[in-house]
Amino acid sequence: MHSKKLGWLLLAPTLLILGLFGIFPFLYVVWVSFHEWNPFAANPAKIFNWAANYRKLVFDAQFLASLGVTMAFVFFAVVSEVIIGYLLAQAFMKDFPGRAFFRTIHTLPLIMAPIIVGSIWKLMTTPSIGIIPYMLKHTVGFDLNIGTSAVAAFAITVIMDIWHWTPLVTLTLIAALVSLPSEPFEQAQIDGANKRQIFWHLTLPMIRPALIATVFIRLMDAMRTVDEVLMLTGGGPGSATRYVGVHIFREVFPRTNYGYGSAVSVIVLYLTIVICWLLYVSLIAPRTRKGSS
Amino acid sequence: MGYFSKASALALAIGLLGVASPAWADFWSDAGAKYKGVVLHGVTESTPPSNFIKDVLAPEFEKKTGIKVEIETTSWDQMYDKAIKDMEAGTGIYDMVYIEQDIIYAYLARNFLTDITKSLKDMPDLKAPTYDDANFTSFANYFKNADGDLFGVPMEAFLKLYLYRKDLFDDPKIQAAFKEKTGHDLKPASTHAEYTEIADFFTQYGKDNGMELWGSTAQAHTGHPASWYEFFESVAPTFGVYNWGIDASKNYAASVANGGTMNGDKAKAAIKWWLHLRDIAPPESPQSTWTEVGTTFAAGRAAQGLVYGENGAWIQSDATKSKVTGKVGFALPPLEPGVLEEAEAGKGYIGYYDGGAFGLPITSKNKEAALLFLQFIGQNEVQPDWAVAAPRITNTATYDDPKVKEMDAKLGGYYTMLKDKGKLFAGAPPYPFHAQVREATAPIFYDILTGKIGPDEGLDAMAAKAEEELTTLGYRK
């Protein structure tokens, strides 16, 4: 009994902080999402409107389009980051001159604030001064202008995200690879397994938990990308890179559409949870059940 | 005896003057004594005028009063984000906020700001002898309510002018080539047709001669409100479309069908003219906001363009940032026939009068000390150095200062134009829903820029969207 009380006492600061900065703001956003509230409207008061905001967003072409491009962005960015991250992790596992130096260099983007990353890429892609349009023009004769080409803008935001976040995947997978026992691999080699078989039947299943956790983290992060895209393209050209994070930002801050913006935020959070749950169910749960039966 | 009386009276008067004069000269230390140790916090956009406040005026004020002033200079978006959140939530973090001319109406509608005129009347002890609302230019009127009370101390004011490269326009070789090609003399454009002719010529001239030179700038970002502003505040008025094409007197109508002009023939002609210029402008134009337009012109990449005065000044005078110092001419924007006459008659305007003020949030916890600071930056005495460091003028007396006159000559008469022609320009319309209408219609506008939708149908859709948004907001019944 005494230890239970002490346990709660020790947990109290954490619960308090979690409640104050996590649970309460979330509940407040949910509450606001059931209101029509724009402080710059003729009537700036909060007006309870039941689920009208949720009903509206189902038919909001701009929101649906923004959700579509976000899904494409998340797919290309996360898949690329996992593949490149794994290859880099494998490369960094090997011994070569300057390995420590390259490991350090490659993690540098991680410590940069997204707004800085956006600024750097903006400088690199602006037609008159950017190194990327210059190199493309002078090597393959391609005119890159992310202000006019929707495809180019989309591709550059994906590449920027890969550049920024692949090191996180690499570091996580290095940690997973380092912790793998050597015996199964030695046995597989003795049994004559080739590299592909070792990868599919040993490495991948053994690093699966770390891989899935990394995918979850990157997926959730990519779904809420705002700063770097806002700085690089502003969501343009047109709505080509108006990802849901940018869409929510524009609804909530400049447009001060607090009620509707909150509803969009809640739905995006719900979608993120559903996607993660689906991934969990399809990749982790069957194996857990198989293992326990 | 009479001599002694006079001598005594004189001695007494001199003595009294001796006592009184330091007190008069030392208003700031006397008034500030009560607030010594107070730290004022302000938030503003990072611009040369704001940086002057941060780097020069704030330390000077602290030296005189003992009141510390911390000015946070940040991006335009961040500045609004922080200021509005603070005033909305009533947290009272900021004692001064930057108020751009176009947001004052929203702030007044929400009662975010303190009435500076009334506060100084209510607290005469705080009234600085060197401060007077009457010192400001007519730009201060944008920051007054219906009773004429001031809610923001003007700290910057600029015109968005037509800049052209004098060195290119005066080059005999280019003049001859232009004459040969067009049959006209090369001179700054006064009409849209002339402007287009010059722009087409220079873009081709740059191409033919292997130069990094284009005929016009274009603030045509395809995902940033800067392009929306360029069209509605700088281009459309030159075609006779005012107040964004929204008519408040007609139930906030935007569409022609309801009495607005957002999708009228003039607006449609304006957008086609501007889109053509965008197409022959430097390739960075679809990624250009007001800042990039300035840097494009400063890099010598455009022969002419509509450029904000705050950028025009450094482009002409700061050799560390500009390749075209001393080569820039300033003129009024090109106009459609009849627009100048409408502006002179007070029925319209020919371009954008940009600027901002420092206001005192109602939620400030240090109102008295902040009032002192606002008066300090509004004095005539601090203006000349400020105008030289960061070309802007908000007080009428500043025009006559020798330093400013010298600067005016250096800037090719920019200040004279601000003084004499400022009345032909106007700030944003007096609506409290700027960001809301802009954000609701901007996606369609960006689609026009990318060609996803045609200019005519795009403007029709924008007018409909603007009316829908105004109805949702409750302004349009």
What is the tens place of the pLDDT at every residue in B374-385? 999 999 999 999
Contact A255 B433 (CB under 8 A): no
Residues of B in contact with A147 (CB under 8 A): 220-222, 284-288
What is the tens place of the pLDDT at every residue in A47-67? 999 999 999 999 999 999 999
Q: How many helices (H) and strands (E) does chain B have?
A: 21, 7
Per-chain mean pLDDT for chain A: 93
Residues of B in contact with A44 (CB under 8 A): 110
Mean pLDDT of B285-304: 96
Contact B474 A43 (CB under 8 A): yes
Verify cis geometry, omega within 30 degrees of 0, for the bond prior to A237.
yes
Mean pLDDT of B63-87: 90
Mean pLDDT of A236-242: 96
What is the tens place of the pLDDT at every residue in B123-150? 999 999 999 999 999 999 999 998 999 9
Mean pLDDT of B382-398: 92
Residues of B in contact with A228 (CB under 8 A): none
Contact B47, B390 (CB under 8 A): yes
pLDDT band with cut points at 50, 70 and 90 for residue A290: low
Spatial distance between the Cα atoms of B327 and A215, rounded to a whole number of angstroms: 56
Instruction: Give, in order, the Cα–Cα distances in Å from B7 to each of A289, B10, B11, B13.
Output: 111, 5, 6, 10
Contact A127 B432 (CB under 8 A): no
Sequence length of chain B is 477
Residue A19: helix, strand or coil by DSSP? helix
Contacts of B402 (CB under 8 A, 6+ apart): none
Check residue B1 and give its pLDDT: 43
Selecting from A39, A147, A148 the residue whose C-beta is nearest the C-beta of B110 gives A39
Check residue B17 and give its pLDDT: 43
Check residue B411 and give its pLDDT: 87
Residues of A in contact with B466 (CB under 8 A): none
pLDDT at B16 over 50: no
> What stretch of H or E contains B130?
none
Contact B439 A254 (CB under 8 A): yes
pLDDT at A291 over 70: no
Q: Give A129 to chain B, closest Cα distance, Å.
A: 9
* Closest A-chain CA to B299: A128
Contact B222 A148 (CB under 8 A): yes
pLDDT at A78 over 70: yes
Q: Give B83 to chain A, closest Cα distance, Å.
A: 11
pLDDT band with cut points at 50, 70 and 90 for residue B315: very high
pLDDT band with cut points at 50, 70 and 90 for residue A116: very high
* Closest A-chain CA to B108: A40
Mean pLDDT of B227-253: 97
Spatial distance between the Cα atoms of B340 and B108, rounded to a whole number of angstroms: 31
Of the listed ranges A128-132, B318-322, B408-412, the one predicted with least confidence: B408-412
Q: Give B74 to chain A, closest Cα distance, Å.
A: 13
Question: Which residues make beta-bridge pairs with B41?
Answer: B70
Percent of chain A at pLDDT > 70 equals 96
Chain A, 101 to 160: residues with Cβ < 8 Å from chain B are 122, 126-129, 143, 145-148, 150
Check residue A2 and give its pLDDT: 62
Tracing tokens 């004594």 back to the chain, one arrives at: B33
pLDDT at A253 over 70: yes
What is the tens place of the pLDDT at every residue in B77-119? 788 889 988 998 899 999 999 999 988 988 998 899 999 999 9
Residues of A in contact with B284 (CB under 8 A): 126-129, 147
Mean pLDDT of B348-369: 95
Contact B287 A235 (CB under 8 A): no
A153 closest CA partner among A64, A248, A234, A226: A234
Of the listed ranges A229-243, B12-26, B253-267, the one predicted with least confidence: B12-26
Contacts of A121 (CB under 8 A, 6+ apart): A156, A160, A163, A228, A232
Tracing tokens 């501007």 back to the chain, one arrives at: B274
Q: Give B446 to chain A, closest Cα distance, Å.
A: 5
pLDDT band with cut points at 50, 70 and 90 for residue B391: confident
Q: How many CB atoms lie within 10 A of CB B1?
A: 5
Spatial distance between the Cα atoms of B151 and A16, rounded to a whole number of angstroms: 41
pLDDT at B313 over 90: no
Domains and CATH numbers, chain B: 30-158+354-424 (3.40.190.10), 159-344 (3.40.190.10)
pLDDT band with cut points at 50, 70 and 90 for residue B19: very low
Question: Whole-angstrom distance between the N-terminal and C-terminal Cα of chain A?
Answer: 37
Contact A255 B446 (CB under 8 A): no
What is the tens place of the pLDDT at every residue in A184-233? 999 999 999 999 999 999 999 999 999 999 999 999 999 999 999 999 99
Contact A256 B435 (CB under 8 A): yes
Tracing tokens 């002694």 back to the chain, one arrives at: B4
Domains and CATH numbers, chain A: 64-292 (1.10.3720.10)
Check residue B374 and give its pLDDT: 97
Selecting from A128, A236, A255 the residue whose C-beta is nearest the C-beta of B223 gives A236
Contact A40, B473 (CB under 8 A): yes
pLDDT at B177 over 70: yes
Q: Does A189 touch chain B (CB under 8 A)?
A: no
pLDDT band with cut points at 50, 70 and 90 for residue B20: very low
Size of interface A-B (CB pairs under 8 A): 110
Mean pLDDT of B165-172: 98
Check residue B24 and give its pLDDT: 46
Spatial distance between the Cα atoms of A191 and A277, rounded to a whole number of angstroms: 37
Sign, CA torsion A258/A263/A266/A271 = negative
Check residue A284 and give its pLDDT: 72
Task: Classify B358 in phi/psi space as left (phi over 0), alpha (psi -120 to 50) or beta.
Answer: beta
Mean pLDDT of A21-26: 94
Tracing tokens 């002898």 back to the chain, one arrives at: B129
Check residue A1 and give its pLDDT: 52
